[in-house]
């Protein structure tokens, strides 16, 4: 199969480098000292009966984190990061994720709890493994790397060749070639990426094959790792032979099931091997990767790309390993795995040949220079084993005083890093924080999530057969289309609310300054708000709280408003405090008070110092990548201080409230204060009614309320509504500056998937 | 009650001129010769049991057209125009609306059919009227003018006075003053606006009080019009006395009901007069206006404003008429009504005094000069009766050879004018044609319609208690919010459609020219479409139907697309014809083919002449105020001709198709051809499925279909979908260039109000 030539002749290089990727990563939950926990799988991580992202492998302590299939390695690593952040932030405070494949501080075998799965067959299979291999060996963790070639590539290759008439047979042989050559040369990846040089003595129950102080490249890939007995040989000569031999070992009872065949390559695409004969091999699973303890989540992006290219080389090369070659490869694997990490490998020449071929392939394919450089660096590691991952790890282990200590230290560091921006999902940080918060909850609850358009914050959610689409965190199928259209238009909003009987301040609309000025007598001495018809973050709004005193003031305010819109409203001013009600369906989930940027004096520090101190709050930052914004020390703040007889260098008295802004927007450094429990329930009911009148499923209702403790009365002295907002902000409720957090994203999920109730253990 | 002084002192002039207005206009349906029809009320005009706009008055032939309450006289007149256009376009071809109050060509009394209303009480009342007054007198038509002062004005006046403690009593006396003074001076309006100088002899069944050739100002307001017997006097001294005296006449049997009291002012606000004592008078109804035959719809805007000002004067003036004054006013009315239209009135001095006071009031209120000029012109009519409406009418009647002939001629002219732009509602022409078409149907069906925001095309519809909001003709509560968000994004649309199993061409998205160029090998020699990610009326799209031949072509196309959007798609080109499917709910209502601007040669005329001829089509115009657009003779058209070896001056052969555009947009002069009946039903089902997958209630689906007669197959050779459109255009289906009209606006109404089914007689 001259794949290389066909690709060159048909300009298929780009298609060849496409593919679908998936990563499964096992790891042990551990305590601060690196020892494996004996606690059950945390309930907060959702039900394992359906969870697509967070599972347990062999043991209750052994997390299995699974990325969805992605069209790029980069995206798979992003998902791996996101799932890790969700898990790390959900673990009990004293639990961590161990970053090394070999477990440390194993409990006595009888205290190792097999994963408590719902399906009895899953539990029975684990019991069998215990009987055959013992529990300790099952506690070893690693990474499985799933790879599928682009179907368009396979089709193009098939069209361009003449040997095969059957497309499925062609596809099977293509994947088999990849599998066979991989098995032949897999030792190279172990040489470069192995990271299991040692293990604690109890792992072998006292009978360690390692001499004191002996290190190897990979215990996990050695004969002491997780391997079948040596005589269990499955043929890769053809798919038919593969199926036959594999079924033989199962029917003869040497394997309890096909999945007990621990090949470092698995043929995937069907539940049973025999089904592959008709369905065809859809993708391969490569299983030999040790966790990289220096990568926060077990594998680096560069290595993941390197593995992709290595796999591609397996079909790019003209030769195809036969069964003897496979056996040779397995032998070399075992041998290399047991070499000392700082020792040159016995097969250096072959390794260098293969990586040179890989480099050549990347050149032909026009890969980026950085990718070529990375391979060249790997090539150099054959001359200097100290540069390999194993070599580096050895030095770190010795420096830390043992692999358990090193692992525990790295585990703590990884968790601390994941907690740093606890309100974000680092890998999806180019989306809005609200969408990140929603994705956090989706991943944790186990709702399949696909990002349809990252820039547009468009998600597709799926639970069973039930599909929902979400944009910007809370725009869903549950809202009626007319509802945002009503809310976009303040005039229409008020008419609709007035029709439904809510307290709405009177207003008139104008299309020109002149037209509005002609109506000046209607507003003279009245307290009014002049504002553009369409919402624009408070731009162009003037308030005459004490009543409109002159035609000139009116004209100025009108001109400011007309800069923002072609239509301007003059509205009766309502006195009271503005609260934001977050309504979802039948319930007001959160009430928030927004307070203009301020500091409280302590009699010692200057305003500038107090601001700096307040800005150090973990939620404050640029306001787009953080839930709250730092208070600026700009002209507007300076003016505001001046009105209070202060400057940035003044030292305000103890408990003196210093205002740095007149407006209460969070985006100008304002404080968000949760008032949900303080608010009289009557207003919460009103907000629900207003949301319903708008036809909204999710709605942000702004009410002006003079006294939140008094029950609402049916007149504007008691309360008034000015506008309602679709797609209301969620972050400010989830992460308020003070008061209780309201995880409204979870409510959005439950609104979309009511069937989740009872299927999960909600906190 | 010193209203004038309070208004001046408190700057209430603007509020004083505000108010709510409503017009009710009766008129006879007539044949071409002006004679009253004997046909039933047209079923197409909806059910009279609930119709808010189109009713019948006394007779089946007597239309009563009712405007909704409006905040300005202008809006009332717009509604009057719209309702008239709806009625005129819905009448049988040989029926018209008679423009004069006095009927002509009356059928024998036994053939005059009393309005066939559902409520037996309504019919019984009419039978009573027949017994008391005879049928002929009931056939006289006129205009009722409803007026309510701004509640804010009444409140402000009440606050500013000291005599009244009770706001309702104050309000009642305010309206009573208006009513009394109106009755005192009503004769002035008759002098100026009367238009019933004569009637055919059969009207009096041979006993005409008019001598041969005698003309009067207003038969209708004279004692031969529609008046109670002279001794039936109702007191206006106070609301209590009014109620007492009115109830007396009813209980004594002299009136069958309160509504038989034919005062030229009615106190409104409750069903029974007695209820007014608690509820208060809410508004007044002025009933003495003859139809103005020179106004297409019975009253001019200037006269309507004049009447408003005249009514205001009735409370502005300090004096208040007593009962004797009212009786004097009634007497003068009868007298003036019987004067010859060209004769100076006996009460010229009083008339001039009142209009001078009116002019003075307008000056004080700062009314526009044109409004003052109009009053001044009316004032001058006292010196020259020939300038009054009656005077002018007399000359026209004599010129036409009788009032019936004049009426018939004007009726034909009015109908022709209403038919001219049959696809529009002239009065609402600043809204989109689709919204106008929807409003046409709403008015005809009798759905209460309120324009919440004209610029935004925002309507509130109400049938019984059921309220619906509509924006831009078909954006409603029936669509899910997520659905337009999906459709706005072509990439997401395709992913959603592909997920749902529809044929979607493959595509890739790019964020830069460079990034896309790197993928050039993927597209080389493939037929592709390069387009911006967001829909923009076909801007920035390049099509390589014959396959992409060079990197340079690709780069150029990419650059063009990136000018329109930050993201660009490269999509497989589908060959076939594009059809627009208009889907509503479970049904494809219309299928349209759009053909690029073209003419067909006749071997005689030049291209320019053929274009001019085609552009004369009634549907063609500027494309925003007309359903189709005129073909331009611009550069692009010139180039297109050049490619065919033609110029604007060429004479194409007979039947030669000459293309003037490559693109098929209606907005560049394309033809719209209805293909609903031609399209194989399988595609219509597909379109419904696609609309459902989008979560849309109303959706425009664009399918590429090579052969519309062949049933759809599940592959891209049979059909493909590229995008779906929310808020799809409706006009092109309602008024196609050729093929059957599909009145999709009616379907929108039935979707919103399913309860209408069975309550109306649908065509």
- Residues 726..755 of B with a Cβ closer than 8 Å to A: which? 726
Pick from B8, B16, B482 the residue to mutate for testing the A interface (most A CBs within 10 Å).
Answer: B482
What count of residues does chain A have? 763
Say whether A14 and B519 touch across the interface (CB within 8 A): yes
> Residue A542 — pLDDT band, cuts 50, 70, 90?
confident
> Residue A405 — pLDDT band, cuts 50, 70, 90?
very high
Residues A477 and A510 grouped into a single domain: no
Tokens of A654: 């103890």
Q: What is the dihedral of CA B600, B605, B606, B608, to 10 degrees?
A: -80
Say whether A481 and B479 touch across the interface (CB within 8 A): yes
Residues B384 and B311 grouped into a single domain: yes
Does residue A555 surpass a pLDDT of 60?
Answer: yes
Coil, strand or helix: which one is B502? Answer: coil
Say whether B14 and A521 touch across the interface (CB within 8 A): yes
Does residue B226 surpass a pLDDT of 80?
Answer: no
Q: Residue B538's pLDDT is what?
A: 67
Say whether A522 and B489 touch across the interface (CB within 8 A): no
Coil, strand or helix: which one is A144? Answer: strand
Average pLDDT, chain A: 93
Q: Residue B535's pLDDT is what?
A: 61
Q: Which helix (H) or strand (E) holds A462?
A: strand A458-463
Let me know if residue B580 belongs to a domain. no
Span between the terminal Cα atoms of chain A, in Å: 56
Say whether B495 and A460 touch across the interface (CB within 8 A): yes
For the ranges A454-458, A476-480, B304-308, B533-537, the lowest mean pLDDT is seen at: B533-537
Coil, strand or helix: which one is B533? Answer: coil
Residues B453 and B415 grouped into a single domain: no
Helix axes A301-316, A167-193, angle to 10 degrees: 130
Q: What confidence tens digit (pLDDT) does each residue in B666-675 have? A: 889 999 999 9
Q: What confidence tens digit (pLDDT) does each residue in A128-168 have? A: 888 888 888 889 999 999 999 999 999 999 999 999 999 99
- Could you say which of A455, A477, A492 has the minimum Cβ distance to residue B456? A492
Query: Cβ neighbours of residue B371 under 8 Å, at least 6 residues apart?
Result: B305, B309, B362
Does residue B760 surpass a pLDDT of 70?
Answer: no
| A71 CB within 8 Å of a chain B CB | no
Residues A268 and A405 grouped into a single domain: yes
State how many domains chain A has.
4
Residues A347 and A218 grouped into a single domain: yes
| Separation CA A356–CA A760 (nearest Å) | 52
| B15 CB within 8 Å of a chain A CB | yes
Pick from A10, A156, A482, A496 the residue to mutate for testing the B interface (most B CBs within 10 Å).
Answer: A482
Q: Is B527 left (phi over 0), alpha (psi -120 to 50) or beta?
A: beta
Average pLDDT, chain B: 93
Say whether A480 and B478 touch across the interface (CB within 8 A): yes
Let me know if residue B754 belongs to a domain. no
Residue A490 near residue A564, CB atoms below 8 Å: no
| B517 CB within 8 Å of a chain A CB | no
Say whether B482 and A485 touch across the interface (CB within 8 A): no
Q: Considering Cα of A385, then A388, then A390, then A394, what sign does the dihedral take?
A: positive
Q: Please, what's the largest Cα pairwise distance for chain A?
A: 101
Residue B658 near residue B610, CB atoms below 8 Å: yes
Tokens of B153: 């004005």
Q: What's B282's domain CATH number? A: 3.30.590.20
Does residue A758 surpass a pLDDT of 70?
Answer: no
Domain that holds residue A614: 598-668
Contacts of B470 in chain A (CB under 8 A): 482
Contacts of A495 in chain B (CB under 8 A): 452, 460
Let me know if residue A604 belongs to a domain. yes
Distance from CA of A496 to the nearest CA of B (A): 9
Query: Interior CA angle at A458 toward A618 and A296, to 5°?
Result: 45
- Residues 497..516 of A with a Cβ closer than 8 Å to B: which? 499
Say whether A481 and B486 touch across the interface (CB within 8 A): no
Residue B478 near residue A495, CB atoms below 8 Å: no
Let me know if residue A532 belongs to a domain. yes
Parallel, antiparallel, or unpaired: how do β-strands B598-600 and B577-584 relate?
A: unpaired
| A6 CB within 8 Å of a chain B CB | no
How many other C-beta atoms lie within 10 A of the C-beta of residue A670? 23
> Residue A759 — pLDDT band, cuts 50, 70, 90?
low
Coil, strand or helix: which one is B95? Answer: coil
| Separation CA A718–CA A502 (nearest Å) | 12
Q: What confidence tens digit (pLDDT) does each residue in A24-58 have? A: 999 999 999 999 999 999 999 999 999 999 999 99
Q: What is the mean pLDDT of residues B487-511?
A: 91
Say whether B482 and A470 touch across the interface (CB within 8 A): yes
The percent of residues above 90 in pLDDT, for chain B, comes to: 81
Q: What is the mean pLDDT of residues B417-445?
A: 96
Residues A220 and A297 grouped into a single domain: yes
Q: Residue A538's pLDDT is what?
A: 67
Query: Cβ neighbours of residue B467 under 8 Å, at least 6 residues apart?
Result: A499, B460, B461
| Separation CA B596–CA A303 (nearest Å) | 55
Q: Which residue has the tokens 């020259």?
A: B384
Say whether A522 and B471 touch across the interface (CB within 8 A): no
Residue B720 near residue B504, CB atoms below 8 Å: yes
- Residues 431..470 of B with a Cβ closer than 8 Å to A: which? 452-453, 455-456, 458, 460, 467, 469-470
Residues A237 and A377 grouped into a single domain: yes
Domain boundary among B460, B479, B498: B479
**Residue A48: closest CA among A64, A36, A70:** A64
Let me know if residue A27 belongs to a domain. no
Q: Residue B451's pLDDT is what?
A: 96
Does residue A399 surpass a pLDDT of 50?
Answer: yes
Does residue B537 surpass a pLDDT of 80?
Answer: no
Distance from CA of A548 to the nearest CA of B (A): 14
Let me know if residue B340 belongs to a domain. yes
Does residue B763 surpass a pLDDT of 80?
Answer: no
Say whether B695 and A477 touch across the interface (CB within 8 A): yes
**Residue A153, CA distances (Å) to A68, A69, A159, A309, A315 in order:** 22, 18, 10, 16, 13
Query: Interior CA angle at B464 toward B460 and B466, to 5°?
Result: 50
Q: Half-sphere exposure (CA, 13 Å, Cβ side) for B212?
A: 0
| Separation CA B680–CA A569 (nearest Å) | 52
Contacts of A15 in chain B (CB under 8 A): 521-522
Let me know if residue A727 belongs to a domain. no
Residues A625 and A513 grouped into a single domain: no
Residues B514 and B408 grouped into a single domain: no
| A569 CB within 8 Å of a chain B CB | no
Pick from B72, B449, B481 the residue to mutate for testing the A interface (most A CBs within 10 Å).
Answer: B481
Contacts of A726 in chain B (CB under 8 A): 481
| Separation CA B712–CA B714 (nearest Å) | 7
Let me know if residue B501 belongs to a domain. no
Does residue B601 surpass a pLDDT of 90?
Answer: yes
Q: Residue A536's pLDDT is what?
A: 59
Residue by residue, DSSP assigns A150-211 as: -HHHHHHHHHH-SS-S-HHHHHHHHHHHHHHHHHHHHHHHHHHH--B----GGGGTT--SSP
Say whether A496 and B452 touch across the interface (CB within 8 A): yes
| Separation CA A708–CA A713 (nearest Å) | 12
Residues B561 and B607 grouped into a single domain: no
Does residue B524 surpass a pLDDT of 90?
Answer: no
Phi and psi angles of residue B252, each rounded to the nearest 5 degrees, phi first = -80, -5
Q: Residue B662's pLDDT is what?
A: 83
Residue B251 near residue B153, CB atoms below 8 Å: no
Q: What confidence tens digit (pLDDT) does each residue in A423-454 have? A: 999 999 999 999 999 999 999 999 999 999 99
Q: What's B538's domain CATH number? A: 3.30.1490.20
Q: Which residue has the tokens 């037929």?
A: B527
Q: Residue A535's pLDDT is what?
A: 61
Residues A376 and A457 grouped into a single domain: no
Residue B727 near residue B619, CB atoms below 8 Å: no
- Could you say which of A477, A566, A695 has the minimum Cβ distance to residue B477? A695
Q: Which helix (H) or strand (E) holds B362?
A: helix B348-365
| Separation CA A475–CA A229 (nearest Å) | 55
Residues A513 and A472 grouped into a single domain: no
| Separation CA A474–CA A691 (nearest Å) | 14
Does residue A314 surpass a pLDDT of 50?
Answer: yes
Q: Residue A119's pLDDT is what?
A: 85
Q: Residue A179's pLDDT is what?
A: 97
Chain A's closest residue to B71, CA to CA, is A508
Q: Residue B213's pLDDT is what?
A: 85
Say whether A483 and B477 touch across the interface (CB within 8 A): yes
Tokens of A128: 């069998």
Q: How far is CA A521 from the centre of its chain?
A: 58
- Residues 665..704 of A with a Cβ closer than 8 Å to B: which? 695
Q: What is the mean pLDDT of residues A266-294?
A: 95
Q: 3-state secondary structure string, B130-193?
A: HHHHCHHHHCCCCEEEEEEECHHHHHHHHHHCCCCCCHHHHHHHHHHHHHHHHHHHHHHHHHHH
Say whether B14 and A470 touch across the interface (CB within 8 A): no
């Amino acid at each position: 199969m001259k794949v290389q030539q066909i690709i060159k002749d048909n300009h298929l290089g780009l298609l060849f480098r496409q593919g679908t990727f998936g990563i499964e990563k096992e790891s042990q939950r551990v305590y601060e000292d690196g020892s494996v926990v004996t606690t059950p799988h945390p309930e907060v991580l959702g039900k394992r009966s359906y969870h697509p992202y967070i599972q347990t492998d062999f043991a209750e302590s052994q997390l299995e984190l699974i990325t969805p299939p992605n069209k790029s390695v980069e995206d798979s690593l992003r998902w791996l990061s996101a799932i890790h952040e969700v898990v790390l932030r959900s673990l009990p405070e004293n639990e961590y994720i161990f970053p090394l494949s070999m477990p440390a501080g194993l409990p006595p075998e009888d205290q190792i709890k097999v994963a408590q799965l719902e399906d009895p067959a899953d539990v029975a299979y684990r019991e069998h493994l215990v009987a055959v291999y013992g529990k300790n060996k099952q506690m070893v963790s690693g990474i499985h790397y799933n790879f599928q070639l682009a179907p368009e590539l396979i089709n193009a290759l098939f069209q361009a060749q003449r040997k095969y008439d059957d497309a499925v047979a062609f596809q099977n042989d293509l994947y088999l070639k990849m599998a066979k050559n991989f098995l032949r040369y897999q030792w190279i990846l172990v040489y470069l990426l192995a990271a299991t040089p040692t293990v604690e003595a109890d792992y072998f129950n006292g009978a360690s094959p390692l001499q004191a102080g002996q290190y190897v490249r990979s215990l996990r890939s050695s004969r002491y790792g997780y391997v079948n007995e040596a005589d269990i040989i499955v043929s890769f000569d053809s798919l038919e032979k593969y199926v036959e031999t594999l079924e033989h070992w199962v029917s003869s009872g040497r394997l309890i099931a096909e999945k007990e065949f621990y090949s470092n390559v698995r043929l995937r695409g069907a539940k049973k091997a025999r089904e592959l004969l008709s369905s065809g091999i859809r993708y391969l699973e490569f299983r030999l990767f040790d966790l990289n303890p220096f990568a926060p989540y077990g594998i680096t992006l560069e290595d993941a790309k390197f593995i992709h290219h290595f796999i591609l080389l397996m079909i790019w090369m003209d030769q195809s390993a036969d069964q003897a070659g496979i056996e040779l490869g397995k032998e070399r694997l075992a041998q290399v795995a047991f070499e000392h990490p700082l020792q040159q490998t016995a097969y250096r020449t072959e390794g260098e040949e293969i990586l040179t071929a890989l480099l050549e392939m990347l050149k032909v394919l026009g890969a980026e220079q950085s990718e070529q450089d990375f391979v060249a660096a790997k090539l150099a590691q054959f001359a200097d084993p100290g540069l390999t991952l194993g070599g580096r790890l050895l030095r770190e282990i010795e420096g830390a005083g043992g692999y358990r200590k090193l692992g525990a230290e790295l585990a703590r560091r990884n968790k601390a890093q994941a907690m740093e921006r606890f309100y974000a999902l680092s890998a999806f940080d180019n989306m809005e924080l609200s969408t990140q918060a929603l994705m956090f909850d989706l991943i944790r609850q186990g709702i399949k999530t696909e990002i349809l358009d990252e820039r547009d914050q468009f998600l597709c959610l799926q639970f069973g057969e039930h599909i929902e689409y979400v944009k910007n965190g809370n725009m869903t199928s549950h809202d009626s289309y007319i509802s945002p259209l009503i809310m976009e238009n303040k005039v229409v909003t008020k008419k609709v609310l007035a029709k439904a009987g809510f307290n709405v301040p009177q207003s008139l609309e104008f299309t020109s300054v002149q037209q509005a000025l002609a109506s000046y007598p209607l507003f003279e001495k009245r307290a009014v708000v002049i504002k553009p018809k369409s919402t624009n973050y408070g731009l162009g709004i003037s308030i005459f709280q004490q009543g409109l005193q002159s035609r000139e003031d009116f004209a100025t305010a009108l001109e400011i408003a007309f800069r923002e819109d072609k239509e301007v409203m003059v509205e009766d001013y309502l006195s009271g405090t503005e609260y934001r009600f977050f309504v979802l369906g039948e319930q007001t989930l959160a009430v928030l008070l927004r307070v203009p940027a301020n500091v409280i004096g302590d009699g010692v520090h200057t305003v500038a110092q107090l601001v700096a101190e307040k800005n150090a709050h973990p939620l404050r930052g640029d306001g787009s990548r953080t839930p709250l914004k730092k208070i600026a020390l700009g002209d507007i703040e300076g003016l505001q201080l001046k009105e209070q007889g202060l400057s940035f260098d003044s030292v305000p008295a103890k408990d003196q409230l210093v205002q740095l802004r007149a407006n209460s927007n969070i985006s100008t450094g304002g404080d968000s204060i949760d008032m949900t429990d303080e608010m009289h329930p009557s207003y919460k009911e009103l907000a629900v009614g207003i949301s319903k009148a708008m036809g909204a499923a999710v709605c942000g209702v702004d009410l002006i309320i003079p006294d939140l403790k008094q029950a609402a009365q049916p007149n504007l002295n008691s309360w008034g509504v000015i506008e309602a907002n679709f797609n209301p902000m969620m972050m400010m409720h989830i992460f308020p500056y003070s008061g209780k957090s309201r995880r409204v994203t979870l409510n959005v999920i439950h609104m979309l998937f009511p069937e989740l109730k009872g299927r999960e253990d909600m906190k």
